[in-house]
């Protein structure tokens, strides 16, 4: 008989319901704790989601011997400190993206998980989107031929209140950036997942519309390479469009254009008869298998959480490892470094 497992949510804000949903959808797992340093938030979240225990102090959870794992769903700056504390207490940890705001912290997290024999995973839910998996497979099998370039963009709209009402968003200390490290992160990570390791060539940031409320970037434009393939990237949180991603992968034998919106959609494809056959199969599969979504974050938190739980119970490595997440963080921080250098050069 399977051992019952108990999970905690640390940080009961916007993304926390996706974590409750994911763990709730699995047999043998319960969400036992709702923890938020703002006590009314913790109690309201526990009541709304029927979670039996709440706390305003995350240290308290470390002493619960029945607790198997925790989701760290707080601001970016605290990810490393909290993840390490839970790992050292013997808990498995699922931490939201980005892994940390400093490369040294990310490495410490990976080392701590290894030293304590615990699973550490960084949320990268779009790696689990069936459409992303399909495109990745087509690229790896050579159905697009040699890749010529990738173009990726995110247009999103965040009102001033999104930043003004938050203790961390739009601050360099709490968020570490904005359009890229928070919203654009998914596009960057997906390109890396499909096309390979990223090197930054150039980056420019700007902030105009939200300049009164954020000290971070609202727009970033960049040129990178993914395993040598040129990648152009444009991300913004100040457009008139609520949320629209586009990824175009162009190869010598075929090309695909798709998005990470919910549900992920393939907009364009051209290539061989085999690629057309694969696209038809993918479209038929998505039409029957896609469960209802949760906002524009998509549905794949469920899939990553299922992978996390499987890894905890069986020891099987996850599809998306924490060690690998360091590479995406390095690309994010590299883009910010290039943008800062480019701004300094024109001053
Ligand atoms: N994967 C995705 O698609 C996705 C979507 C949204 C947010 N996120 C990520 O999730 C994380 C949280 O984002 P959010 O939008 O839910 O933030 P939020 O501000 O809505 O919620 C954060 C909560 O954490 C609480 N908190 C802060 N410090 C704490 C501490 N030390 N102990 C306990 N509680 C604490 C705050 O009181 C707040 O309620 C961020 O890393 C963000 O980038 C990921």
Tens of pLDDT, residues 145-159: 999 999 999 999 999
User: Under DSSP, is residue 55 helix (H, G, I), strand (E, B) or coil?
Assistant: strand
Nearest CA to ligand 1 atom 20: 13
pLDDT over 70 for what percent of the chain? 98
**Each residue of 246-299: pLDDT tens digit?**
999 999 999 999 999 987 899 999 999 999 999 999 998 877 776 666 667 888
Q: Which atom of ligand 1 is nearest to the CA of 297?
A: 3
Q: Is 67 in the pocket of ligand 1 (CB under 6 A)?
A: no
Rounded to an integer, what distance in angstroms lies between the CA atom of residue 20 and that of residue 120?
Answer: 18
Q: Residue 212 burial (CB < 10 Å; 0-12/13-18/19+)?
A: exposed
Tokens of 346: 């024109």
User: Are the CB atoms for 303 and 125 separated by under 8 Å?
Assistant: yes
Domains 5-125+301-321 and 129-296+329-345 agree in fold: no
Establish whether residue 182 lines the binding site of ligand 1, counting it when its CB lies within 6 angstroms of any ligand atom.
yes
The reported pTM is 0.97
Q: Which helix (H) or strand (E) element contains residue 22? A: helix 16-24
- What ligand 1 atom has the least distance to the C-alpha of 124? 1
pLDDT given at position 286: 75
Ligand 1 centroid from CA 97, angstroms? 10
Question: In angstroms, what CA-CA distances link 237 with 75, 94, 163, 180, 214?
Answer: 18, 26, 11, 9, 11
Nearest of 88, 84, 54 to residue 72 by alpha carbon = 84
Q: Is the CB of 17 under 6 A from ligand 1?
A: no
Please give the pLDDT value at position 287: 75
Query: To 10 degrees, the CA torsion angle through 329, 81, 70, 62?
Result: 160
pLDDT at 82 over 70: yes
Residue-level pLDDT at 291: 67
Mean pLDDT is lowest, of 54-63, 109-118, 161-170, 276-285, for 276-285
CB 237 within 8 A of CB 157: yes
Q: Whose CA is nearest to atom 6 of ligand 1?
A: 15
Domain boundaries, the chain: 5-125+301-321, 129-296+329-345
Q: Compute the distance from residue 19 Cα to the ligand 1 centre, in Å.
A: 11
* Closest to 304 measured CA to CA, from 320, 293, 292: 320
Q: Whose CA is nearest to atom 7 of ligand 1?
A: 15
pLDDT band at 335 (very low <50, low <70, confident <90, very high): very high
> pLDDT band for position 346 (50/70/90)?
confident
Could you tell me which of 108, 116, 50, 56 has the C-alpha nearest to residue 79?
108
CA of 177 relative to ligand 1 center, distance in Å: 15
Mean pLDDT, the chain, whole residue set = 96
- For residue 313, what pLDDT is reported? 97
Residue 73 Cβ inside 6 Å of ligand 1? The answer reads: yes
Using CA atoms, how far apart are residues 207 and 205, in angstroms rounded to an integer? 7
pLDDT at 71 > cutoff 90 = yes
Query: For residue 294, what pLDDT is reported?
Result: 66
The DSSP annotation for 130-189 comes to HHHHHHHHHHHTTTT-SEEEEEEEEEEE--HHHHHT-SSTT-TTTTS-SIIIIIIHHHHH
Residue nearest to atom 28 of ligand 1 (CA): 74
Ligand 1 centroid to Cα of residue 75, in Å, is 5
Task: Assign a CATH topology to domain 129-296+329-345.
Answer: Dihydrodipicolinate Reductase; domain 2 (3.30.360)
At 47, list the tokens. Answer: 């009541």
Rg (CA), the chain: 20
pLDDT at residue 2, as a whole number = 80
- The count of other CB atoms within 10 Å of the CB of residue 341 is 11
Q: Is the pLDDT at 17 greater than 90, yes or no? A: yes
Instruction: Select from 3.40.50.11720, 3.40.50.920, 3.40.50.720, 3.30.479.10 the CATH code of 5-125+301-321.
Output: 3.40.50.720
Q: Which atom of ligand 1 is nearest to the CA of 76?
A: 41
pLDDT of residue 293: 61
Secondary structure class of 43 (helix, strand, coil): helix
CA of 10 to the centre of ligand 1 (A): 8
CB atoms within 10 A of CB 132: 24
347 has a pLDDT exceeding 80: no
């Amino acid at each position: 008989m399977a051992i019952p497992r108990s999970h905690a949510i640390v940080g009961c804000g916007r993304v926390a319901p996706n974590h409750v949903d994911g763990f709730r959808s699995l047999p043998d797992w319960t969400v036992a704790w709702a923890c938020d340093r703002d006590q009314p938030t913790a109690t309201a979240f526990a009541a709304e989601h029927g979670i039996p225990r709440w706390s305003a102090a995350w240290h308290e959870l470390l002493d619960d011997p029945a607790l198997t794992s925790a989701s760290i769903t707080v601001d970016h700056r605290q990810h490393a400190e909290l993840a390490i504390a839970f790992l050292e207490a013997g808990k498995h940890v699922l931490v939201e993206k980005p892994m940390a705001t400093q490369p040294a912290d990310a490495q410490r997290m990976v080392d701590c998980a290894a030293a304590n024999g615990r699973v550490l995973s960084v949320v990268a839910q779009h790696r689990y989107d069936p459409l992303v998996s399909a495109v990745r497979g087509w690229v790896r099998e050579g159905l697009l031929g040699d890749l010529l370039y990738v173009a990726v963009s995110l247009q999103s709209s965040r009102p001033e209140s999104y930043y003004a009402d938050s203790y961390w968003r739009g601050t360099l200390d709490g968020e570490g950036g904005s359009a890229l490290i928070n919203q654009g992160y998914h596009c960057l990570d997906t390109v890396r997942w499909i096309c390979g390791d990223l090197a930054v060539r150039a980056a420019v940031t700007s902030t105009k519309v939200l300049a009164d409320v954020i000290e971070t970037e609202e727009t970033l434009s960049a040129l990178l390479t993914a395993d040598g393939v040129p990648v152009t990237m444009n991300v913004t949180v100040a457009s008139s469009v609520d949320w629209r991603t586009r990824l175009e992968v162009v190869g010598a034998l075929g090309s695909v254009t798709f998005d990470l919106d919910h549900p992920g959609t393939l907009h364009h494809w051209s290539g061989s008869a085999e690629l057309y056959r694969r696209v038809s199969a993918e479209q038929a599969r998505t039409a029957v298998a896609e469960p209802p979504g949760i906002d524009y974050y998509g549905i794949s938190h469920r899939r990553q959480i299922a992978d996390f739980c499987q890894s905890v119970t069986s020891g099987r490595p996850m599809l998306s490892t924490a060690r690998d997440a360091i590479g995406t963080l390095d690309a994010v921080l590299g883009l910010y470094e290039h943008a800062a250098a480019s701004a300094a050069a024109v001053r």
